Amino acid sequence: MTKIKISRLGRFSPVLLYLLLGVGGWLLYQTFQPSLHDPGAMPRSVIARGDLAEDERNTIEVFKNTAPSVVYITSIALRRGLFNLNVYEIPQGTGSGFIWDKKGRIVTNYHVISDASRLEVTLADHSTWKAVLVGAAPDRDIAVLQISAPKSSLFPIIIGESDDLLVGQKVFAIGNPFGLDQTLTTGVVSALGREIKSVTGRTISGVIQTDAAINPGNSGGPLLDSAGRLIGVNTAIYSPSGGSSGIGFAVPVHEVNSVVPLLIRHGRLIRPGLGISLAPKRLADEFGLAGVPVLKVQPGSTAAKAGLRGVSQVQGGMILGDCILAVDGKKVHDYKEFRDLLEQHEVGNTVVLTILRNGKEQQLTVALEAME
């Protein structure tokens, strides 16, 4: 019988193979995997941060409470086709606004909706409603729209004060910049009493300046104080590039609160006036007059009843009438100052005019009447 001799090497080769595989695997593990003994190479345990800072909680609360009051406005225009006579509806622009009351009235800037043939309002719940124009005050850049959404979907904004604002106090802006809905930006009141031009070229006074980021699409949205109350309507930015540069402007809420009820009631802004026409400033300069000369007094007006006199024509020339020097003791130098002083009152109020007549000063009490 032939015996097969098995060498020692051959007998232990499987053991060596396993040993080599084990060593190789360990070397690969050490080369390509983080060491179990190096805590910095392993995921760290997550520790909850705890309560947010009080200032952060307030910001979150303001957004949470006010966002349902802010709306997204799409203005749609009619355009004729380039190669045919068909008329198409195309989105012309977007803006922001806020819910004024439970009857579905929406407040926004006039320039947001001025050239639209149709308007759509999207609420915070993403429902979209057709809007109609209730009234507009282009000189103040304010407009009121109406939608037919159910009361359960309408959350009117809380109205605040703008007369007691302080430079440096915190403010929030909520709107839809660049079509991105429900966007919050924060900042401070940077300055007060600014003046900007409306779309009609008329000066809007008492405007709030803020460094809260305001971009295209924010127009018409609310500017809020730290309690979430409306203090202004974001209306313009100062920016050569068209984007926010840290200088934004808002129409103060006291202006909004006086204009919106009139737009709801009349569809237009009813201004207090006297029923007079004022002469151009060059006439006052020509005669060396400090105030504003009365050019014409409308028959039957409150000014006519009070005895105010305008320019009269005579053979070979004209005779100056009354020149208004002051309203309620406040001097006036031009038409703008005169108009602004009258608009601090309401229709039916009376004002005391200081006039220059025949070289002598005297006073007349005149009632303000409704003017277009």
Residues acting as catalytic residues: 111, 141, 219
User: What is the Cα–Cα distance from 46 to 54, expressed in whole angstroms?
Assistant: 23
User: What is the Cα–Cα distance from 209 to 166, expressed in whole angstroms?
Assistant: 11
What's the token pair of residue 166?
């302080």
Q: Which among 324, 323, 363, 328 is positioned nearest to 345, based on CA atoms?
A: 328
Start-to-end C-alpha separation, the chain: 132
User: What is the Cα–Cα distance from 140 to 363, expressed in whole angstroms?
Assistant: 31
What DSSP state is assigned to residue 159?
A: B
Give me the sign of the Cα torsion angle 165, 167, 169, 170.
Answer: positive
**Are the CB atoms for 248 and 209 separated by under 8 Å?**
yes
Residue listed under structure tokens 């308007």: 119
- CB 258: neighbour CB atoms within 10 A? 15
Q: How many CA atoms lie within 13 A of 47 on its CB side?
A: 2
Question: How do 222-224 and 230-237 pair as beta strands?
Answer: antiparallel
DSSP helix/strand/coil, 104: coil
User: What is the Cα–Cα distance from 26 to 28, expressed in whole angstroms?
Assistant: 5
Element (H, E) at 143: strand 142-146
**Are the CB atoms for 100 and 107 separated by under 8 Å?**
yes
User: What is the Cα–Cα distance from 49 to 149, expressed in whole angstroms?
Assistant: 41
